[in-house]
Amino acid sequence: MSIIYCGVEPPPSPAPVDPEGPPVLLFVGRVVHDKGCDLAIEAFAALRRRFPDARLIVAGDGDQRPALEAQAAAAGIGDAVGFLGWVRPAEI
């Protein structure tokens, strides 16, 4: 058995909520098949039908990025999904 700890310290307090603003979802991790970002994009496409101003931000990089960008474009949500690439943990 092995334990893999989270690489980012949680913030000291919850992030502020803006109930008036559009929802923003964040995926942080390697952009590889095993992480399930393709499922996040699929679910986000369904979410956009209910919240058309919602955005999904993908922070991470990997070999699946081109396929995921194509998946988002094919689902008609390419303009609402931002791929940042690798982001330093301190900036997350």
Task: Provide the terminal-to-terminal Cα distance of the chain, rounded to the nearest Å.
Answer: 29
pTM: 0.76
Given pLDDT bands bounded at 50, 70 and 90, which one contains residue 15? low
pLDDT of 16 above 70: no
| Under 8 Å between Cβ of 56 and 28 | no
Least confident piece of the model among 11-15, 33-37, 44-48, 84-88: 11-15
**Tens of pLDDT, residues 28-71:** 999 998 898 999 999 999 999 899 999 999 999 999 999 999 99
C-alpha distances in Å from residue 20, one per residue of 57, 74, 85 = 19, 29, 28
